[in-house]
Chain A
Amino acid sequence: MKSIPSRWVVFSTLLTLTLLLPLGVIIYNALGAQSETLAHLKQTVLNRYITNTLLLLCGVGILSFLFGTLGAYFVTFYRFRFAKFFSVVLVLPFLIPSYILGFIYSDLLGFFGPVHMFLQGLGITWYFDVLQMPTVVILLSLALYPYVYLIVRASFAQNSAALLNPALSLKAGYFRIFYKVILPLSRPAIVGGLSLVMMETISEYGLVKYFGVDTLSTAVFTAWFGLGDIYSAAYISSVAMLIVFALLIIERFNRGSARYKSEAMQQPLQKRRAGPVLSIFIVLFLSIPFLFGFLLPFAWIVKYAWIHAGEVIDREYLQIVLQSFSAAAVSAFAVVLIALILGYSARVFQTPYMRYLLKAATLGYSIPGAVIAVGILMLAGLLDTFFIATFSLDGLVLGGSLVLLCFGYCVRFLAVGLNSVESSFEKVGSGVNKASRSLNKSLLQTLLRIDLPLIRGALFAGFILVFIDILKELPATLILRPFNYETLATKTYELAMNEMVQESAIYALSIVAVSIIPILITLRSYR
């Protein structure tokens, strides 16, 4: 008798291949890509798109590193006034999606904005142009540095607490310890956080578009919608994917073979009291991301949401909320279900094959939303042509349907769901699963009666995280949504693009309000 692959492994493989299909179609189309438009693009603007994207990556990378790492450092190792307060509020910029941050600052800094009016009131008529790269870099960094902050803070807390005291006892100075012990130990965390920031930067659409900085992400849009050229869109998408893969490889190699988890006993960390000058510096420094990344924009949103609440909250608003929530809920459910199937198969069949399969299935998380969306449209086009030819239908089956949008979310956010599933399985341990199987229960029975009840809570938390991510998602939603189908994100974007930034506040506030949930979850799990 030969061993045959289990149904679970086969099914997981099929699911993964389906999720990878859009990326495959892009690469396929890009390989032989030749069109006049593409040739023209290559000659004229493509280089600028690439340069802009790389410049953004560098700028946002450096600033996020500074805010995130220094923030985590001060909060972990120093005692100063408001330390506890800052350790919490430094996460808050996560609440405000980058494109909303962009709209707000363009309003604040615009010609009729308060900053300019104030300057004019002082008799200064100098006007600065904000539609520029540096603004985008700063705003994106403000929106994204919490990735670095959270991951690095966790790493500091885990490793350094155990090693700070031994290092101190060896008579090393604080600066030397930070430089020689803490920073190298936390390098994988820093690089991990930065790579998340950079993936988000490549994926960024709303903010860069609004400020007129052309990146690969906006170029994919233009090629698809403006020029209607499949090959150009595929080619540009492939360039974006290439950068993503390069980042992934750097991140992987960076981890190398050294071990970064200290086996030393966890000890309570003796925080160092900051002197008066340092205290003031720390508070001022930490206030920058908090003030400009959260407080100011949040106040703006609340103010204009309040002003426009009467005129904007109507049937349309409620319909959009309902549409957003139902699309996000259905998609998040699908994501969690797929994640459960894949995660469970990997739990039962702990083979290298399954490990690679899961890596492949979660690839979409690092691919820009616009790229995934364009891949899905290409795929849908192929399938629709096939359906129409075979079943002689007279309309599109997939094109413009919600199925595509839902599929897009699955490709993009499976990693988030799978992360929750895997970590909760790890906590439960494999014993109960094997025990149930040794008591003659099949894999499905075991899943339903043992594993599922035990990870129910974590699964729900995962669902919420995916749900919020979907609510905030902009580029893929813009491309894949059915005609005239608005979500909170697209409506915010559209109002802002149509010079009605202040009227968009109520939609922005709705997104922010819902986003508070995962922040609460994160805060709880990092404490």
Chain B
Amino acid sequence: MKPLLRLDDIYKRFGSKEVLQRISLDIQRGEIISLLGKSGSGKSTLLNVIAGFESPQQGSVTLGAREITHTPANKRDIGFVFQNYALFPHMNVLENITFGISHLPKKEQRSKAAQLLELVQLQAYANSYPHQLSGGQQQRIALIRAMALEPELILLDEPFSGIDAILKTQIQKQLLQILRATQKTALIVTHDAKEAMAMSDKIIYLENGRITQYDTPENIYRNPKTKEIATSFGVANFLQRDGKLYCLRPEACSLARDGEFPVNVTHCMFEGERFNVEVRLQNTFLRLFCSSRPQNNQLRLSIDWDKAVELEKIN
């Protein structure tokens, strides 16, 4: 199947700082993809290159059948939901939504805006101004403002950064429902691994301007390619063996009478449904979960090597 978006060998530097180093990836129609990485990993720059706010020094961007590497942002047909939403403060909600479709007849603009407002259940706010809306409402208006032009691809830059932690899950769910219902292709930038796992079909992980893994959330969690990915997506233990570096999720470790390694329990926290236990194996500290409090400080650790993942050593 032909991908909707193809990045081929994208290279970008600012001065002497190489921000994107040979990025290639495909996104298929209808997929919801998360772009994850620490701050400074290049994810914002990559998003800007796709949207057309930055030009790469090398490589190409292809949307559908069109090569758009140097096409100006206003001729790309890519929607963008900005961090903090960037609603136009001097226009009301209706004017914000119809801003991009001002070339259509007035009547059509209105009916389209009404449809979109209904989609996000904010019909009552057509005449409100952005500052009168809550963060979640602003986010949905920003989303339908981008959708009004019916872009093939929607980019979302940290869409939940301004939202209260308590409301976050609910608003994530709403956003996901809207995107799925309209069968949009979306690329969501985030630095929150939980968010990425909850929202997306696949996750792109960016480290120092390189893609180190591009996979489904399950695979990324179970088979992380790098140390950084392993720690980003959950509790991870690292163990050197035969000159190789392994990642062990807590599930791969257990305390047993006949375990292969003698360990000391150094810390134990009760977390309700389980005990979060830290043990020391020679110079390494490992974390694992137990259903009961370890009775003894001198125990043996058993490792399920089938669940261990060998990491790529990249620097």
Contacts and interface: CB of A to CB of B under 8 A. Distances in A.
B70 A436 contact: no
B129 interface: no
Contacts of A1: 67, 69-70
Contacts of A2: 70
B82 A435 contact: yes
Nearest to A456: B90
A264 interface: no
B291 interface: no
Contact of B74 (A352, A429, A432, A442): A442
Contact of A439 (B15, B53, B55, B100): B100
Interface in B61-116: 67, 69-70, 72-80, 82-90, 99-100
A390 interface: no
Nearest to A434: B53
Contact of A435 (B69, B77, B86): B86
Nearest to A433: B86
A353 to B, nearest CB: 11
B100 A432 contact: no
Interface string B166-209: 00000000000000000000000000000000000000000000
B86 A434 contact: yes
A303 interface: no
Contacts of B74: 437-443, 446
Given A1-B70, A2-B70, A439-B100, A431 B82 contact: yes
B184 to A, nearest CB: 15
Interface string A81-103: 00000000000000000000000
Chain B interface size, under 10 / 10 to 19 / 20 to 34 / 35 or more? 20 to 34
Contact of A431 (B15, B79, B86): B86
A431 B82 CA distance: 7
A454 B82 CA distance: 18
A498 interface: no
Nearest to A449: B99
Contacts of A436: 88, 99
Given A352-B15, A454-B90, A438 B80 contact: yes
B48 to A, nearest CB: 8
11 contacts: A429-B84, A434-B82, A436-B99, A437-B52, A438-B79, A438-B146, A439-B146, A439-B149, A440-B74, A440-B75, A440-B149
B249 interface: no
A3 interface: yes
Contacts of A446: 74
B51 interface: yes
Nearest to A450: B88
Q: Which 5 A-B pairs have the closest CB atoms?
A: A431-B86, A439-B100, A438-B80, A435-B86, A3-B70
A436 B77 CA distance: 12
**A: interface residue count bin:** 20 to 34
Nearest to B77: A440
Most chain-B Cβ atoms within 10 A of its Cβ — which of A435, A438, A443, A446?
A438
A446 B149 CA distance: 16
Contact of B88 (A435, A437, A438, A443): A435
B145 interface: yes
A364 B156 CA distance: 43
B239 to A, nearest CB: 39
A431 B69 contact: no
A2 B86 CA distance: 30
Contacts of B80: 434-435, 438
Interface in B134-177: 142, 145-146, 148-149
A123 interface: no
B90 A434 contact: no
Contact of B51 (A3, A4, A438, A450): A438
A121 interface: no
B15 A434 contact: no
A354 B76 CA distance: 25
Nearest to A4: B70
Given A440-B100, A453-B90, 12 more contacts: A429-B84, A432-B86, A432-B89, A434-B80, A435-B86, A435-B142, A437-B53, A438-B51, A439-B145, A440-B75, A440-B77, A442-B72
A450 B55 CA distance: 23
B99 A439 contact: yes
A501 B145 CA distance: 65
A437 B99 CA distance: 11
A450 B99 CA distance: 10
B138 to A, nearest CB: 12
A431 B83 contact: yes
A437 B69 CA distance: 16
Contacts of B53: 434, 437
A443 B74 CA distance: 8
Nearest to B84: A431
Nearest to B69: A1
B83 to A, nearest CB: 7
Interface string B223-266: 00000000000000000000000000000000000000000000
B72 to A, nearest CB: 8
A33 B100 CA distance: 59
Interface in A423-469: 429, 431-432, 434-443, 446, 449-450, 453-454
Interface in A452-502: 453-454
A453 B87 CA distance: 14
A436 B102 CA distance: 12
B70 to A, nearest CB: 4
Of the candidates B52, B55, B69, B100, the one having the most CB atoms from chain A within 10 angstroms of its own CB is B100
Contacts of A431: 82-86
A435 B142 CA distance: 9
Contacts of A434: 51, 53, 73, 80, 82, 86
B69 A438 contact: no
Contacts of A453: 90
Interface string A1-14: 11110000000000
Given A1-B69, A432-B88, A438 B78 contact: yes
Most interface-central of A352, A434, A437, A440 (chain B CB within 10 A) = A440
Interface in A27-72: none
Contacts of B52: 437
A3 B52 CA distance: 11
A449 B86 CA distance: 14
Contacts of B83: 431
Nearest to B73: A437
Nearest to B97: A439
